[in-house]
A and B are shown apart, each in its own frame.
Chain A
């Protein structure tokens, strides 16, 4: 009987989700292997082997997480959050490893702890737990006070490291959290609209005036429809108009070298000797892969030796070069299926905490995927965000596996109910 019950329960795991995860991990190990191919070196020192060790370790961790009670997750959220804040302070003010200029790691001897990775998880738990009990609404501004406070402290600490891209992950998680805790799509649009205004006014394309005019019209229309409190309506409208004009004015006030620095960040190709160099090599590598790629192990021969971060941040270039468009599309499909299986957990439950956790975790994955791939194909600035399951790196692999563990746990417990 007992074994029968175990079988019964084990069926409640999302086996497809596990298969997808394992498939992605296998892709990662394969790519790391071919990116750092070296024939005669001890197997234990090889990146691909170390990556397997990280994944195995992470999987054990994820497996253990499955049996954690949801109520317990809610209970440890806040303590974990404060531990994360303390660690961020420690790395920032005391023990920062100053190698490469940015203090991001705490060296614990056996491994290096990256508090910002830990903070991602702790923040996800905390914000989900808070928002699940206290929905937000633009009609009641008070509801935003606590979530924004929770957000601002770790965000500022990570930004100070300085680690802009990881800080942006916090924004993404927060926005999605708000979306699933009461805000409508229109609300989201209105919140983001000043940013769009800046973008439109900064792009020196000819149609800027028109585009921006259309945007303002849409914003006004949305505001009228939504009938937000008058003060908020005013603020949003003002912010849009200010963002449109002030940003171009502020831009003109910058010194030419500062303008150049911003331009280089936004468009790396404008500085082919600096950041653009990596992107140029990455584009060439991916583009030369063609539809079917050059074949496994044949990539590093040509271009990738130029990429210093080929097995970490630019692993997608290895994929593009060796397996071509087919390989890229395949991996993107895996990611899409992975996210679909993850988000489908929501349908199993009515618990808002589960929904928020699931969507937050998915967002962390999604944000990393988008920013990293867009970077390697020259659509976004060069930042240091790794690609989930594919990039080499212990800390981030562990973060991914913890998130996978959460997702499995949530599905398992939601179904069991």
Chain B
């Protein structure tokens, strides 16, 4: 107890404090009551007015998603309006009977062909949800047709709480064209909502999935706006609220891509949808991707359709054994096959082990005896130097060269030009890394199988059997070998522009691998690539062009005994001043020169024809 106070005094003091406390309570409650009185009596009329007539609702103004253009300004991806028929819970009848009759009326509505607009299951779900979700529309019919909207609007008087909401959905005017590069959009999934990178997204947002749509989603989205509107008794907007300014939506950025629509069209036509394969056309001077095809394709428009059709389309592509969802151009991993001989030769030249005049003691007699093993060649080529070995794609020469050079040097040279375990960093998701095996990584990867590294494996590896590359890597490889000026990061984004067309961001080309070599190495490799196309007996002569000097290398990748080989063709043109590098792979289609060569030729031919036309047009 406090000093100098008797217990009685303390108690009295405490009782006073309790009294003070209760006095405080009374005063504070009185303040609340005064405020309530002012609201409910003094300002009763205006509040009643507001509650009766001005039903204020918050409306989100969705920002328009940015378009995607090709390099010449052609629209590749745009938006279209999509009508959703929805329930507005607060405007629905409150009594059970009223709701039931609304339910039945909706169920009975038919379009002109006599089909029901709604099925009872989705209606029932929407009605269930309408009990909990009161402040936003609940969708009953997704992506309704103009006719369906008209039917609903006709009956709007008898359908309290049923509203039509306009959304914007993605439209891909060229269908399957470049579908893997562009990607598609769909509603954000529950799982995605939980991920940290989707912070700030809300349920029902449509987001980019795969391709450019996903990679640049933040840029495409823009910023949603908001406004307060007055609605009438059936939930229809009648005007805005005075004195409250909404925030206008900021449209998303537009992406000008590096894709050349004309070239992409030619490439798409060259590869039939029934075949499995991929094509990458890239500008080796800066890494701009001019065309990218992965076959079979999918139509991104199916993801903008209504649920039932979307699910049907999705099941179709997801269950297809041809796996159309995979972007083979960046996610497909294949053995590089004979295209890799350029790397083996380059490593030999770079390290002084090979020269133009170097001949190996064993000529090609159709095979090579290594220890107890007899490794075959695909033909009988006799004694060759490096240029002719590449021209004829002779395996025996490279068996011996590979043993001479050793894997470490070969792999080091390959990594300089973009091969290996590090993805190149293209601006769409899903890029796979390759693999250049050496003894350590080979043993580690095959530990489970019990395989051990042996020197004999160099035979296979030096002709490109055993490594893993993507078509994108093959394209950058041949391109950067031809330029000798470094490997540029492959990319699709040329510019980002705002809705007024002002450039917001420009892609700065970036060297990601050194791509350097000695002058001599460069010269010999160019001569070799030249001879493949332009000298008699060259394996790639079917890829040649009449007016432009093309350099190339073919490949026929073995992947399974008894199956046809993967047909590789990697080409670059003009060889001494490269502008375009193309890599084509056709899965299990046969020889590279015969199958893939003509495809690459078509693309390059189109490129130079277009260029000529453009130059004429400028004149």
Cα–Cα distance between A283 and B246 once the two chains are bound (Å): 21
Task: Give A392 Cβ to nearest chain B Cβ, in Å.
Answer: 14
B25 touches A336 (CB 8 A): yes
Query: Nearest chain A CB to B240's CB is how many angstroms away?
Result: 12
Task: Kindly state the separation between the CA atoms of A285 and B39 in the bound complex, as whole angstroms.
Answer: 10
CB within 8 Å of B: which of A271-330? 272-273, 277, 280-281, 283-291, 300-303, 305-306, 308, 320-321, 324-325, 328-329
Interface residue? B201 (CB, 8 A): no
| CB neighbors of A among B34-52 (8 A) | 35-37, 39-41, 43-44, 46-48, 50-52
Q: Which residues from chain B contact A17 at a C-beta distance below 8 Å?
A: none
In the assembled complex, the Cα of A381 lies from the Cα of B96 at a distance in Å of: 38
Cα–Cα distance between A379 and B36 once the two chains are bound (Å): 11
Q: Is B166 an interface residue (CB 8 A)?
A: no
* Cross-interface CB contact of A283 among B15, B32, B39, B57, cutoff 8 Å: B39
A99 to chain B minimum Cβ distance, whole angstroms, is 10
Partner of B2 from A182, A281, A328, A329 at Cβ < 8 Å: A182
Residue A250 lies at the interface, judged by CB distance under 8 Å to chain B: no
Q: Does A346 belong to the interface (CB within 8 Å)?
A: yes
B319 at the A interface (CB under 8 A): no
**Interface positions of A from 235 to 277, Cβ below 8 Å from B:** 272-273, 277
Contact size range, B = 35 or more
A14 to chain B, nearest CB (A): 16
Taking the complex as formed, is B7 at the interface, i.e. its CB lies under 8 A from any CB of chain A? yes
Find out whether the CB atom of A286 lies under 8 angstroms from the CB atom of B36. yes
Contacts of B14 in A (CB 8 A): 180, 346, 352, 355
Could you tell me if B2 and A135 are in contact, using CB atoms closer than 8 angstroms? yes
B56 touching A281 by the CB < 8 A rule? yes
| A273 engages B15 (CB within 8 Å) | no
B135 touches A325 (CB 8 A): no
The B12-70 residues at the A interface (CB cut-off 8 A) are 14-15, 17-18, 20-22, 25-26, 28-29, 31-33, 35-37, 39-41, 43-44, 46-48, 50-52, 55-58
Contact of B36 among A37, A180, A320, A346 (CB under 8 A): A320
**A137-B2, A291-B41 are known contacts. Are A332 and B17 too (CB-CB below 8 A)?**
no
Is A185's CB within 8 Å of the partner chain B?
A: yes
Interface status of B94 (Cβ within 8 A of chain A): yes
- Give CA–CA (A42, B417) in the complex, Å: 68
Given known A185-B20, A359-B18, contact A373–B32 (CB-CB < 8 A): yes
| Most A C-beta atoms less than 10 A away, residue of B31, B51, B58, B135 | B51
B21–A347 contact, CB under 8 A?
Answer: no
A49 within 8 A of B: no
Given contacts A281-B56, A306-B90, A346 and B28 within 8 Å (CB-CB): no
Q: Mark B2-16, 1 if CB is under 8 A from A, else 0.
A: 100001000100110
Say yes or no: B41 contacts A305, CB within 8 Å: no
Q: Is the CB of B21 within 8 A of A288?
A: no
Complex Cα distance, B131 from A71, in Å, reads 50
- Residue from A277, A324, A336 within 8 A of B26 (CB atoms): A336
Residues from chain A with Cβ under 8 Å of B55 in the complex: 302-303
Q: Are A332 and B29 in contact (CB under 8 A)?
A: yes
Does the CB pair A379–B35 fall under 8 Å? yes
Is A335 part of the contact surface with B, judged by Cβ < 8 Å?
yes
A339-B2 contact given A290-B40, A377-B35, CB 8 Å threshold: no
What's the Cα separation between A325 and B41 when bound, in Å?
A: 8
Task: Knowing A290-B40, A320-B36, A370-B28 are in contact, say whether A284-B51 is a contact too (CB < 8 A).
Answer: yes
Query: Closest CB-CB distance, B59 to chain A, in whole Å?
Result: 10
Q: Which residue of A301, A306, A370 contacts B32 across the interface (Cβ within 8 Å)?
A: A370
In the bound complex, do residue A305 and residue B89 qualify as a contact, i.e. CB atoms below 8 Å apart? yes
Query: Counting CB contacts under 8 A, is B95 at the interface?
Result: yes
Task: Give the number of A-B contacts (CB < 8 Å).
Answer: 133
A287/B48 in contact, CB under 8 A: yes
Q: B52 touching A302 by the CB < 8 A rule?
A: yes
Chain B residue contacts of A347, Cβ below 8 A: 15, 18
Residues of chain A contacted by B611 (CB below 8 angstroms): none
B524 touches A (CB below 8 Å): no
- Does A176 count as interface, using CB distance less than 8 angstroms? yes
User: A8 an interface residue at 8 Å Cβ cutoff?
Assistant: no
A15 within 8 A of B: no
Closest chain B CB from A284 CB (angstroms): 5
Q: Is the CB of B21 within 8 A of A305?
A: no
Chain B residues positioned under 8 Å from A280 (CB to CB):
56
The answer on a CB contact under 8 Å between B28 and A328 is no
Q: Does B454 contact A (CB under 8 A)?
A: no
For residue B39, which residues in chain A have a CB less than 8 angstroms away from its CB? Answer: 283, 286-287, 320, 377
Tell me whether B94 and A37 are in contact (CB under 8 A).
Answer: yes
- Residues of B bordering A, CB below 8 Å: 1-2, 7, 11, 14-15, 17-18, 20-22, 25-26, 28-29, 31-33, 35-37, 39-41, 43-44, 46-48, 50-52, 55-58, 89-90, 94-96, 99, 131, 134-135, 226, 228, 244, 246-247
14 additional contacts, CB 8 Å, given A346-B14, A377-B39? A39-B95, A39-B96, A39-B99, A176-B21, A179-B21, A185-B17, A277-B228, A286-B36, A287-B47, A288-B44, A300-B94, A306-B134, A352-B14, A359-B18
A–B Cβ pairs within 8 angstroms, 17 of them: A180-B17, A185-B17, A273-B244, A273-B246, A273-B247, A277-B228, A286-B36, A287-B51, A288-B44, A291-B41, A303-B55, A328-B33, A335-B29, A346-B18, A370-B28, A377-B35, A379-B32
